[in-house]
Amino acid sequence: MIPLEFDYSAPATLQEALELLAEEEAKPLAGGCSLIPLLKLRLAAPGRLVDLSRIPELRSIAANSGSIHAGAMATHYDLESSSLLRAACPLLAETASHIGDVQVRNMGTLGGSVAHNDPAADYPAALFALEAQVRLRSKDSERMLPLSEFLVDALITAAEPGELVTEIIVPAEQPGTGASYQKMRNPASGFALVGVAARMRKTDGIISMARVGVTGLAAIGFRAVAVEQLLEGTAGSAADIKKAAAVIADGVEANSDIHASANYRKHVAAVYAARAITAALERSS
């Protein structure tokens, strides 16, 4: 469990980091929760690791005109414990609190997780429900992508060589919005066997906004638009929820492995969708 030899840099500024990442063999090191095991198994062998942990600006969590900008190097614990997030985007804080264990939450980062794009990571459920944007920077360019365009396939993203995820942008919730993240944990890894995030708002007793994000079910996370459409315009009764949740896996090519079959994952996705939607509705006003 020893990686191949690599060079190591720990720049103090983002610009310096981006210049180092412009090198062909360079790879950014965030919390290392996924990358270090891959290095130790020699499934990844970058020539240089650019450690981002000494760049304070990448760790900030700030509100800016109706949006929350969460730095890529904000740890899961930073998100979980951020009073700003807990007030303005509790779904992201709640999701962070479900990741791994205390040690993982102290090391792992939002940007690292999003950029790694593990099919079972927790964040995609919440970030799809939040219609998150991903900011990418390279030495001499900057762009924003919706999460749905950033995540391409399992472990593959739209980031070009030299591009770094610098922040994730989510909306500050409007008053009255309720949200919840519910997951079935993989007992070995703690990752999501299936996880569902829901954001709900009611107007005059009728669901006026429904957003449902899913992780663990397919190669990448996704927004369950069909579920949302079935919910919006209803009163959100138990029957409404059940009916909507039931379509969450329709047409999805579900993951299958030693931990759960595709069929079981699809079934559990519907169960957890109903639970997340129910909890979100309870928290909405």
Partner 1 sequence: MATTVTKPETLVGKAIRRKEDPRLITGTATYVDDIEMPGMHHACILRSPHAAARILALNTQPAIDRPGVVAVFTGDDTKGIGAVVCAGLLPGLRIPEHKVLATDRVYYVGHPVAVVVATDRYIARDAVDLIEVEYEPLPAVADPERALEPGAPAVHPQWPDNIAYTYHHDGGDVDQAFADAAVVVKERIISQRLIPTALECRGVVASWSQGDQTITIYTSTQVPHLVRSIVAGMLGLPEHKLRVVAPEVGGGFGSKLNVYPEEGLMAFVTRQIGKPVKWIESRRENYLATTHGRGHVDFFELAAAKDGTILGMKLKIIQDCGAYHQLLTPAIPTLSVLMAPGAYRFRNVRADIVGVFTNCVPTDAYRGAGRPEATHGIERMVDILAAALNLDPADIRFKNFVGKDEFPFQTGTGLSYDSGDYGAPLQKALDMIGYASLREEQRLARRQGRLMGIGISTYGEICAMGPSSALPSGGWESATVRIEPDGKVTIMSGVSPHGQGQETSFAQIAADELGVALDDVQVLHGDTSLVQYGIGTFGSRATAVGGTAVYYALQDLKAKAQKFGAMLLESDDVTLAGGVCTCNKTGKTVTVGQIAAAAYRALKLPPDTEPGLVATRYWEPSNFTFPFGAHIAITEIDPDTGAVEVKRYVAVDDCGKVINPLLVAGQVHGGIAQGLGQALYEQAVYDADGQLVTGELMDYAVPKAAMVPWIETDHTCTPSPVNPLGVKGIGEAGTIGCSPAVVNSVVDALSHLGVRHIDMPLTPEKIWNLVHKGGEA
**Which chain residues interact with partner 1 by CB under 8 A?**
1-2, 4-5, 37, 40-42, 101, 184, 186-190, 258-261, 264, 267-268, 271
- Least distance in angstroms from the C-beta of 261 to partner 1: 6
Nearer to partner 1, 65 or 188 (CB): 188
Q: Which of 253, 274, 255, 110 is nearest to 200 (CA)?
A: 274
Nearer to partner 1, 42 or 143 (CB): 42
Give φ, ψ of 155 to 5 degrees: 65, 10
Q: What span, in angstroms and rounded, lies between the C-alpha atoms of 61 and 47?
A: 31
**Three-state DSSP state, 161:** coil
DSSP 249-283: TTT-----BTTB-HHHHHHHHHHHHHHHHHHHHHH
Q: What span, in angstroms and rounded, lies between the C-alpha atoms of 170 and 149?
A: 15
The enclosing H or E element of 244 equals helix 238-245
- Least distance in angstroms from the C-beta of 100 to partner 1: 10
Nearer to partner 1, 41 or 154 (CB): 41
- Least distance in angstroms from the C-beta of 150 to partner 1: 24
How would you class 86 by CB atoms within 10 Å of its CB: exposed for 0-12, middle for 13-18, buried for 19 or more?
middle
- Least distance in angstroms from the C-beta of 164 to partner 1: 26
- Least distance in angstroms from the C-beta of 121 to partner 1: 13
Nearer to partner 1, 58 or 279 (CB): 279
Nearer to partner 1, 1 or 175 (CB): 1
Q: Do residues 117 and 156 touch, judged by C-beta distance below 8 A?
A: yes
